Structure 1
Amino acid sequence: MTVLLLAGTGEAKRIAWALTDTGINVIASLAGATRSPEPLPIPTRTGGFGGEDGFRAYLEDQNISAVLDATHPFADQITNRTARICAELGLPYAQLVRPPWIAETGDDWTIIDVPEDAAAYIPANAVVFLATGRQTLTQYANLEGRRVLCRLIDPPTAPFPFEGGEFVLGRPPFSPRSEAQLFKALGVTHIVVKNAGGDGGRAKLDAARALKIPVLLLKRPEMPSATPLSNVQEAVAWVMSLGTRQ
């Protein structure tokens, strides 16, 4: 049995470690968004599959028995494609779905449906910390004129796509204290973030609460129907259960 683990998250890393000594052959796949990701303890491929036909061919060529999707909650294109092709091929497919963040006392959150909605809540003189990833920057082009800060793990290979923007380098993990120090140093007045859930990105929200910074929280995209797994333990148990289905 060979399981394909669609990785790129902290949960995927923990799943990979948990499955190393189980006797199950697991192959991880990384999209390649980060130039120097931390190595995983299992065989790992990096990069795209070459579209739907390429992904279908990979599953068949590698004799993949099942697919565990532990990608980012906003990787909806990858997830939708994977669910559809696994259904076509009759492969077991499960998705790790982090519980979304829920506002707590003291949070100043506004939920937005699409990136373009953020500008309506951010004044012209604002300093915006845009924590949605460099791939999304063009979707926030209507923030032009404001000071917009986007954090990257790797140095940028292209200039900011619109006037007023600049990149800030930083590699996780981050703590609420370090995030608060950064926001104060940069004079951040507003934060835009995807509702990714999980512990990894929570620090910026805790810092925003402490500093009373308004947050624009982007709603998650719709995902396909799949076997839902809410944590690493459930994901590992699902993989282990596959052996009883053979």
Structure 2
Amino acid sequence: MSSACVLVLGGTAEARDLAAALDRAGVSVVSSLAGRVARPRLPAGEVRIGGFGGPAGLARWLAERGVAAVVDATHPFAERISASAAQACPAAGVPLLRLERPGWSEAPGDCWHWVDDLSHAAELVPRLGRRVLLTTGRQGLAAFAVVRSAWFLVRCVDPPDPPLPPRHELLLDRGPYLLENELALMDGKQIDLLVTKDSGGAHTQPKLDAARRRGLPVIVVRRPPRLDVPAVSSVAGALSWLRETVHAG
């Protein structure tokens, strides 16, 4: 196997699966985690936690480590590190691939309302519901602090920083989730509106299935614009690209 080092910008299930596959193949893999989750699920291989110091810092790190390729497998809404990688990799002469899971698609029976950002989601809440399951993560919750007409069940992995909605309950939990549990949660808390980001993936899909079952409206925040870098939607596709690009795996 190639001794080339591959940097995986991670934190997602896809990033962990890719790191595991590379590690099994004998490829030197470094996974970079942002450090925003207190107890992250660690991938196989070497793990680096924390930022690089912007595009220039990342470019220097790539050169110092002799990295042969970078796979950006971060969350679809992790805009800062993706933008940094898109600048740093060309500067360092290192190939870059974006591994991004497909977004969710509406199904018959869905009542989705698409918005461009969290502020627009917050503006729409009073028109659609009074008891809201808010699953947009712990960052950006300040956008909902102005909403006084609704009660929020705020679900995230780690405790969020204030400000938070005036009327809320905090639920610290981590997927994957099960449909029956999501239905029980919505019924027990009398949820009449779901707010989420278009994160995609099977681990959190059940909340959308539960909302469809209960006929609930869903506010969905669109993904940020995709950067102009090569992209695949599966770990298999990333492995194929790495084999062709740096003969890794």
Would you call these one fold, judging by a TM-score over 0.5?
yes
**Does 2:94 match 1:91?**
yes
Equivalent residue for 1:153? 157
Query: Residue type matched to 1:94 in 2?
Result: L
Partner Cα separation in structure 1 for residue 106 and residue 40 of structure 2 = 31
Where 2:244 maps in the other structure, the secondary structure is: helix
**Does 2:133 match 1:129?**
yes
Question: Contact 1:116–1:142 (CA<8 Å) still a contact in 2?
Answer: no
Where 1:95 maps in the other structure, the secondary structure is: strand
TM-score (norm 2): 0.91
Where 1:122 maps in the other structure, the secondary structure is: helix
After superposition, what is the alpha-carbon deviation per residue over 1:192-232, rounded to whole angstroms, capped at 9, x for unaligned?
A: 11111121221110010011111001111012111111111
Query: Residue type matched to 1:147 in 2?
Result: W
Where 1:23 maps in the other structure, the secondary structure is: coil
TM-score (norm 1): 0.92
- Report the CA distance between 1:21 and its aligned residue: 2.4
- CA distance 1:244–1:152, change in 2 (3 Å): closer
Query: Residue type matched to 1:210 in 2?
Result: R
Equivalent residue for 1:195? 198
Structure 2: where are the runs of 5+ without partners? Answer: none
- CA distance 1:160–1:187, change in 2 (3 Å): farther
Equivalent residue for 1:31? 34
Query: Residue type matched to 1:133 in 2?
Result: G
Structure 1: where are the runs of 5+ without partners? Answer: none
Equivalent residue for 1:213? 216
Where 2:219 maps in the other structure, the secondary structure is: strand
**Does 2:88 match 1:81?**
no
Query: Residue type matched to 1:101 in 2?
Result: W
**Does 2:165 match 1:140?**
no
Question: Contact 2:54–2:84 (CA<8 Å) still a contact in 1?
Answer: no
> Aligned runs of 1:43-82 on 2, under 5 Å?
43-82=46-85
**Identity across matched positions, percent:** 36
Equivalent residue for 1:103? 106
- CA distance 1:182–1:4, change in 2 (3 Å): same
- Report the CA distance between 1:41 and its aligned residue: 1.4
After superposition, what is the alpha-carbon deviation per residue over 1:27-55, rounded to whole angstroms, capped at 9, x for unaligned?
A: 00111121112221111011112233322
Equivalent residue for 2:116? 113
- Report the CA distance between 1:158 and its aligned residue: 4.4
> Aligned runs of 1:159-198 on 2, under 5 Å?
159=162, 161-198=164-201
Where 2:200 maps in the other structure, the secondary structure is: coil
- Equivalenced residues, count: 244
Question: Contact 1:95–1:226 (CA<8 Å) still a contact in 2?
Answer: yes
Question: Contact 1:76–1:223 (CA<8 Å) still a contact in 2?
Answer: no
Where 2:24 maps in the other structure, the secondary structure is: coil
- CA distance 1:19–1:121, change in 2 (3 Å): same
Question: Contact 1:129–1:191 (CA<8 Å) still a contact in 2?
Answer: yes
Partner Cα separation in structure 1 for residue 13 and residue 52 of structure 2 = 22
